[in-house]
Every structure is written in C-alpha cells, then in structure tokens.
Amino acid sequence: MNKRLGTKSDIIFNLLIYGLLVLSLLVVLLPFLYVFFSSFSSKSEYLSRGFYLFPNEWTLNSYGYLLSSDGFLKAYGNTFFITIVGTLINLVITCLMAYGLSKSWLKGRGILNFMVLFTMIFNGGMIPTYLILKELALIDTYWALFLSGAIAPFILIIMRSFFSNIPEELEEAARIDGCNEWVLLFRVVIPLSLPSIVTISLMYAVMHWNSYFTAILYLNDSNKWPVQVFLRQLLLESDSSMETHIGAFEYGPPVKMAAVIATALPLLLCYPFMQKYFNKGMFVGSVKG
C-alpha cells in the first residue's frame, strides 16, 4: 500500500473530489472565457467559423464600436453616477439609523427594530410602491432609485449588530471627556468601524451597479438608463435587426460580448478587494437575508 496515496478506495475518492472540483471550475470559468475571447473576434470570423475559443484574428473593433456609440458611454456614465451617489445616500442613512438602534437603553427601540424586521417578511407589493413614487413625482428621476432602496434591512441589521459590539467603556470614556452623541459617532465609532463600513459600501455598490428592474420600473427616459438596461436592449436585438443599425452591422455578435464584458468588468476588478472582506465572515449574514 502506497502510504502517501492511501488505499485504493481513497484514491478513487480523491479522483472523484478533484474531478468534480475541476468540473465546477470549468463550468463557471468557460462561459466567461468564451465571451471574453470572442469579444476580440471579428464579425466575419465569428459568423463563418465553427466553434472556437481563440480567434485567429484579434481585433478591438467591438470595443471601438461601444466607445464610439453615444448610448453605451451615456449609460455607463449613468451607472457610475447612480452607484456613487446611491451608495453615499445608503451609507449615511443606514449608519445613522443603525447607530441609533444599537443603543440598548433607547426607548422605543423594540418597536423600531420590529418595524425593520417586518419589512423583510411582508411588503406592499410592486403596484402600491410604484404609485407612491408616482405620487411623490419621483418617476423618471434618479431619486426614485436612491430613495426607494435607501436602506436594505439586512445590511442595517448587520451594521446595528456591529455597532452594538463596540465596548460600552469606550463610549463612556468619550462621554466623560464631554463628547455628545454626534461627536462620539463621527470621531470614535465610525473610525473604529471602517472595515465594516467598507464592507457594506461594497454590498450597496454591487446592488446599485447590478440593478436592472428598478431602472425599468421607475425610469422611462432612455437618456437616464443605466448600463444594465442598455446591455439588455442590445441583447434583445437579434442579429438581423442589428443590420439596420449601420454601426453595429459591421461588428455583429462580438459587440454583444464586448458589452457583456464591459458591464461586468468593474465588479470583476473590485472582486479581489471584496474577497478580503467577505472571507472575514461579514458577508455570511447576507446569505440569510
């Protein structure tokens, strides 16, 4: 018996484990790689050649088309705007409320906590929410996106439990030094909580970057559309109807692939940074949410 490999059945076990891991690796990775490499392909090669992973002829035409088309750049810019402003609004409102609710001595805290929890299991539904936003004249403004999702309840709860774990003594000391609650929050609590604030910022930013439904629900003006909506419109155009657009006709399906890559890229670039945080387990709560 080979001591390193173990018995025969252990060898089979290992083959199975590594085989399945390699399989899941490929299932996840190959579609991305296919889209990535094909986005550098020319239209004629893509349409005339059978299946291939690597193009014979590499070209940046698809990306050139995207960058030269107004629609894409505009939508991309809109998404950046929505993500940055939206996340800032989320952060301010969430952190303030979470800090307030983290004090166990606060009167009325139980009712407020219940109010937050209840929205996680019951909601008024799509139509009443839409009508409220319409009534407030928020339709077709970015405020609809910023305000309708100003707080994600499960992120508020994560932040609240983080704040309530900050040692009481620290705050008492600051209070004795004459700090009021505001100074305490901004000078002591927030600097201490930076890692979790970064984490929830990333969670909110990912939500804003990826959101598609709220945009089609609340924005009718195509000039305001985020890149997710642009990508969806592009994907819906069948290749025959693409021929009516003089620009897209020349580049064909690879333009779609370039748009998929461009839309996913910022998140993929941020991913290594995010990983540092979710490995710490902060993200686990979000799975339950």
Partner 1 sequence: MQKAWRRGFPLYIMIAPGLLYFLIFRYAPMGGIILAFKDFDPFVGVFESSWVGFQHFEALFAEPDFWRLLKNTLILSGLNLFLFFPAPIIVAVLLNEARVKWFARTVQTVVYIPHFVSWVVVAGVTVVLFATQDGGINKLLADNGFSRLEILTDPSYFRGLYLFQNIWKEMGWGAIIFLAALASVNPTLYEAAVMDGAGRWRQMWHITLPALRTIIVLMFILRLGQVMETGFEHIYLLQNSLNLAVSDVFDTYVYRQGILQGEYSFTTAVGLFKSVVGLAFVMIANRLAKKYGEEGVY
Minimum CB–partner distance for residue 214 and partner 1 (Å) = 10
The residue among 19 and 167 lying less far from partner 1, judged by its C-beta, is 19
Segment near partner 1 (CB under 8 A); pick from 69-77, 188-196, 242-250, 278-286: 278-286
Question: Interaction with partner 1 in 66-85: which residues (CB under 8 A)?
Answer: none
CB 144 within 8 A of CB 218: yes
190 part of the interface to partner 1, by CB under 8 A: no
123 part of the interface to partner 1, by CB under 8 A: yes
Record the tokens describing residue 161, joined without a space.
């439990």
Specify the residue for token string 């100003």: 150
Specify the residue for token string 């083959």: 15
Contacts of 264 (CB under 8 A, 6+ apart): none
Minimum CB–partner distance for residue 60 and partner 1 (Å) = 18
Question: Interaction with partner 1 in 124-143: which residues (CB under 8 A)?
Answer: 124-133, 136
CB 94 within 8 A of CB 190: no
The number of angstroms, rounded, from the C-alpha of 34 to the middle of its chain's C-alpha atoms is: 23
Question: Interaction with partner 1 in 2-41: which residues (CB under 8 A)?
Answer: 6-7, 9-10, 13-14, 17-18, 20-21, 24-25, 27-29, 31-32, 34-35, 38
217 part of the interface to partner 1, by CB under 8 A: yes
100 part of the interface to partner 1, by CB under 8 A: yes
- The closest of 156, 159, 164, 165 to 116, measured between CA atoms, is 156
Question: Exposed (0-12), middle (13-18) or buried (19+): which is 138, by Cβ within 10 Å?
Answer: middle
Minimum CB–partner distance for residue 264 and partner 1 (Å) = 5
166 part of the interface to partner 1, by CB under 8 A: no
61 part of the interface to partner 1, by CB under 8 A: no
- The closest of 222, 100, 207, 226 to 148, measured between CA atoms, is 207
**In the set 51, 104, 178, 246, which binds partner 1 (CB under 8 A)?**
51
**In the set 60, 67, 84, 115, which binds partner 1 (CB under 8 A)?**
115
Start-to-end Cα distance in the chain: 49
212 part of the interface to partner 1, by CB under 8 A: yes
- The closest of 152, 139, 35 to 86, measured between CA atoms, is 152
Specify the residue for token string 């839309």: 263
What distances in angstroms separate CA 248 from CA 27, 62, 196, 235, one per listed residue? 30, 9, 44, 12
45 part of the interface to partner 1, by CB under 8 A: no
263 part of the interface to partner 1, by CB under 8 A: yes
The residue among 73 and 130 lying less far from partner 1, judged by its C-beta, is 130
Q: What single-letter DSSP state applies at residue 188? A: I
The residue among 36 and 73 lying less far from partner 1, judged by its C-beta, is 36
Record the tokens describing residue 277, joined without a space.
């945080």
The residue among 231 and 248 lying less far from partner 1, judged by its C-beta, is 231
Cα–Cα distance, 115 to 125 (Å, whole number): 17
Question: Interaction with partner 1 in 241-260: which residues (CB under 8 A)?
Answer: 253, 256-257, 259-260
The residue among 163 and 196 lying less far from partner 1, judged by its C-beta, is 163
